[in-house]
């Protein structure tokens, strides 16, 4: 909830039998004035928000419970405003503050040391590193022994590379897949399972309140990006064997319809009342629509590359991956420009044009009914009550309904999908690893620079701030920037140098939709989850990691059985 402070009801500081809740601390304020003063507080992530008032009686010590997920901005008011300060309270700590006329702005001090709420993360990392070492050590030893016994290591390497690049020699379906692609997809889906189940209740494993970027915010755009990359690889081979373009588009339409149907089925799980509140948009729906649009554009205009391409472009050969696809880029950029124009030019009743904020307490409460600006207005107009129902924002308080997978956000994610398609074209068009990686990194730099200029390299400011809730252009470009970097690293380590086979993520990447639907259907059920006696970061993180690990083993079992569930 937005309420940054609340009156202390149980004395956590003096009574050791009373336990703190997760992400709470104790804050005692001694008012040495001979009159009451008003304390104002707000979470620092609440951009351009007014402080919440709290009366401090004269000459008394007032004890408050404060949240610790975000740092807090504080000041108190007598005749004037005094001592504006921002402080990061730590979990289960006890803090004090003395305010008086003699010393207008004293320091906040620690009465009782907090716990290290990040210790469970460090412990989990160490455990997984140990398990990884136990898993890969025998393989490394055997590989070393094999190399020592072989009189010609170069020959061994060539044979291994030939086996990896000749899928017809191996009968397993999984052997015909590109390992780096499945690994990227597996990282995304396992991260999605982890954060959807709670992410240890850490703020950086939760979606950002409205502005900014967290680890959880990367999941959906990364999945859309690699979906585009996969399309390039699979459909190019279909075109090479003379499948008609109309047939490919028809297959893409069927896949999109199936994804929409599955998305609606998942939405029905969360519909507690009636059909009147049934949510129509969703993650799978967003992926389905953006995938179909990009797939249709690409299938209609794609060219099958030939050896004549190098001669055709001459000195512009270095740009042939773009010049060969200028029509697709023209359409995608037109869609992106249309989205931007609607965002900044569409009149919204009683709201400023181009508003991108959450409403609620944002902008000092002046635009409380403007949640999501043009995007929110369109979704509420089209879907009515058939959209995301949560109206309580952890930072900005009560907001209007706004769907993070709504019409405008789906329109925005199209650029991410097509950037993934273009990454796949680079993979197919250029045969040298250095050429591929240089281009991926160059695209990453371009996306990052443009995004930085749009948001002024800041969390809140700039022409277009970074916002996952809005799928803003700066957000789309930033997440695509990281996607290019991550895939370049995976391609180098897995496909080129073969330092790593992608395990355990590669197994999850072979059945991502099955794992996604499975984890939604079983969320909160034993043995994936169980009730806890006391909620803490340790108990939540342990359960969330266990859930993710179980689904990882499920993916490995499907791999052993050579089961690949494709849609």
Instruction: Please calculate the CA angle 385-389-393 and round it to the nearest 5 degrees.
Output: 140
Residue 318, judged by CB atoms within 10 A of its CB (0-12, 13-18, 19+), counts as exposed
- Higher-confidence position of 138 and 160: 138
Q: What percent of the chain has pLDDT over 70?
A: 86
CA 172 to chain centroid: 33
Q: Which of 154-158, 367-371, 505-509 has the lowest mean pLDDT?
A: 154-158
Determine the pLDDT at residue 271.
Answer: 72
Report the range of poorest mean pLDDT among 132-136, 368-372, 410-414: 132-136
Q: Where residue 545 falls among pLDDT bands split at 50, 70, 90?
A: very high
| Helix (H) or strand (E) segment spanning residue 56 | strand 52-56
Phi and psi (nearest 5°) for 72? -125, 135
pLDDT at residue 229 tops 80: yes
**Among this protein's residues, is 422 annotated catalytic?**
no
* Per-residue pLDDT reduced to its tens digit, 74-106: 988 877 777 888 999 999 899 999 988 877 788
Strand partners, 397: 393
Secondary structure letter of residue 537 according to DSSP: H
* SS (HEC) of 57-115: CCCCEEEEEEECCCCEEEEEECCCEEEEEEECCCCCCEEEEEECCCCCCCCCEEEECCC
**What integer pLDDT is reported at residue 244 of this predicted model?**
83
- Which alpha helices (H) appear in 102-218, and where do they start and end? 119-149, 153-165, 179-196
- Mean pLDDT is lowest, of 120-129, 236-245, 355-364, 438-447, for 236-245
Q: Tell me what pLDDT residue 149 has.
A: 45
Q: How many residues does the chain have?
A: 567
The residue among 565, 475, 548 whose CA lies nearest residue 512 is: 565
- Contacts (Cβ under 8 Å, ≥6 apart) of 512: 185, 186, 188, 189, 223
What are the tens digits of pLDDT across the range 159-213? 333 333 333 333 455 556 789 999 999 999 999 999 999 999 999 999 999 999 9
Which pLDDT score, from 0 to 100, does residue 371 have? 94
- Tell me: cis bond preceding 504? Omega within 30 of 0 counts: yes
Q: Is the pLDDT of residue 324 over 60?
A: yes
Domain ranges across the chain: 6-112, 179-561
pLDDT, residue 325, reads 86
Measured CA to CA, the distance from residue 462 to residue 165 in angstroms comes to: 47
pLDDT value, residue 426: 92
pLDDT of residue 145: 63
**280 vs 2, higher pLDDT:** 280
CA distance 277 to 406: 15
Cα separation, 88 vs 66, whole angstroms:
10
Looking at domain 6-112, does it have CATH number 3.30.1050?
no
pTM of the predicted structure, to 2 decimals: 0.89
CA–CA gap between residue 226 and residue 221 (Å, rounded): 9
Predicted local distance difference test score (pLDDT) of residue 273: 58
The mean per-residue pLDDT over the stretch 539-548 comes to 94
State the pLDDT at residue 140. 61
Q: What is the mean pLDDT of the chain?
A: 85
Q: Report, as an integer, the average pLDDT of 369-395.
A: 91
Cβ–Cβ < 8 Å for 524, 273: no
pLDDT over 50 at 360, yes or no: yes
What DSSP line would sit under 493-532, residue for residue? IIIIS-S---TTHHHHTTSHHHHHHHHHHTTT-TTT----
pLDDT, position 164: 36
Select, from the ranges 165-169, 333-337, 537-541, the one with the highest average predicted confidence (pLDDT): 333-337
Give the span between the Cα atoms of 436 and 422, in whole angstroms: 11
Among residues 12, 73, 92, 207, the one annotated as catalytic is 207
pLDDT of residue 6: 59
Residue 500: exposure state from Cβ atoms within 10 A (0-12, 13-18, ≥19): middle
Asked if pLDDT for residue 311 goes beyond 70, the answer is no
Alpha-carbon Rg for the chain, nearest whole angstrom, is: 27
In the Cβ-directed half-sphere of 274, how many Cα atoms lie within 13 Å?
A: 1
């Amino acid at each position: 909830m937005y309420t940054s402070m609340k009156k202390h009801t149980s004395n956590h500081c003096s009574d050791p039998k009373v336990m703190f809740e997760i992400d709470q601390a104790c804050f005692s304020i001694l008012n040495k004035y001979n009159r009451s003063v008003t304390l104002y507080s707000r979470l620092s992530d609440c951009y351009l928000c007014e402080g919440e008032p709290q009366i401090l009686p004269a000459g008394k010590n007032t004890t408050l419970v404060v949240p610790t997920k975000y740092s807090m901005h504080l000041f108190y008011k007598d005749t004037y405003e005094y001592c504006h300060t921002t402080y990061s309270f730590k979990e289960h700590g006890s803090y004090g503050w003395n305010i008086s006329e003699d010393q207008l702005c004293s320091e906040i001090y620690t009465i009782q040391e907090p716990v290290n709420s990040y210790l469970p993360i460090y412990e989990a990392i160490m455990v997984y590193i140990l398990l990884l070492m136990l898993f890969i050590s025998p393989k490394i030893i055997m590989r070393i022994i094999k190399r020592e016994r072989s009189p010609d290591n170069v020959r061994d390497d060539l044979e291994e590379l030939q086996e990896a690049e000749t899928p017809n020699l191996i009968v397993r379906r999984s052997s015909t897949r590109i390992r780096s692609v499945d690994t990227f997809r597996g990282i995304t889906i396992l991260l999605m399972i982890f954060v959807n189940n709670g992410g240890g209740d850490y703020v950086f494993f939760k979606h950002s309140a409205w502005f900014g970027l967290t680890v959880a915010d990367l999941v959906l755009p990364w999945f859309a990006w690699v979906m585009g990359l996969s399309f390039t690889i699979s459909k190019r081979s279909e075109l090479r064997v003379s499948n008609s373009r109309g047939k490919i588009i028809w297959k893409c339409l069927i896949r999109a319809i199936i994804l929409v149907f599955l998305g609606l089925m998942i939405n029905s799980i969360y519909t507690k009342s009636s059909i009147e509140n049934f949510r129509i948009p969703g993650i799978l729906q967003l992926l389905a629509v953006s995938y179909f649009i990009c797939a249709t554009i690409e299938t209609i205009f794609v060219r099958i590359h030939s050896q004549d391409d190098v001669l055709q472009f001459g000195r512009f050969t270095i740009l042939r991956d773009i010049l060969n696809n200028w029509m697709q880029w023209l359409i995608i950029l037109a869609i992106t420009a249309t989205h931007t124009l609607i965002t900044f030019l569409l009149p919204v009743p009683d709201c400023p044009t181009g508003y991108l904020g959450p409403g609620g307490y944002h902008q000092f409460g002046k635009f409380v009914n403007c949640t999501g600006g043009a995007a929110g207005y369109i979704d509420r107009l089209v879907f009515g009550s058939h959209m995301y129902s949560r109206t309580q924002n952890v930072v900005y308080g009560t907001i209007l309904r706004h769907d993070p997978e709504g019409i405008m956000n789906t329109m925005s994610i199209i650029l991410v999908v097509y950037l993934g398609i273009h990454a796949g074209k680079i993979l197919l068009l250029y045969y040298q690893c250095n050429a591929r990686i240089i281009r991926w990194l160059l695209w990453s730099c371009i996306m990052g620079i443009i995004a930085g200029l749009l948001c002024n390299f800041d969390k809140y400011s700039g022409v277009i701030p970074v916002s996952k809730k809005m799928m803003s252009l700066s957000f789309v470009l930033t997440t695509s920037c990281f996607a290019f970097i991550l895939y370049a690293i995976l391609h180098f380590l897995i496909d080129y140098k073969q330092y790593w086979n992608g395990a355990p993520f590669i197994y999850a990447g072979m059945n991502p939709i099955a794992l996604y639907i499975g984890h939604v259907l079983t969320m909160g059920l034993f043995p994936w989850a169980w009730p806890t006696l006391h909620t803490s970061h340790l108990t939540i993180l342990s359960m969330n990691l266990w859930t993710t690990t179980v689904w990882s083993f499920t993916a490995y079992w499907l791999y052993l059985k050579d089961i690949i569930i494709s849609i």
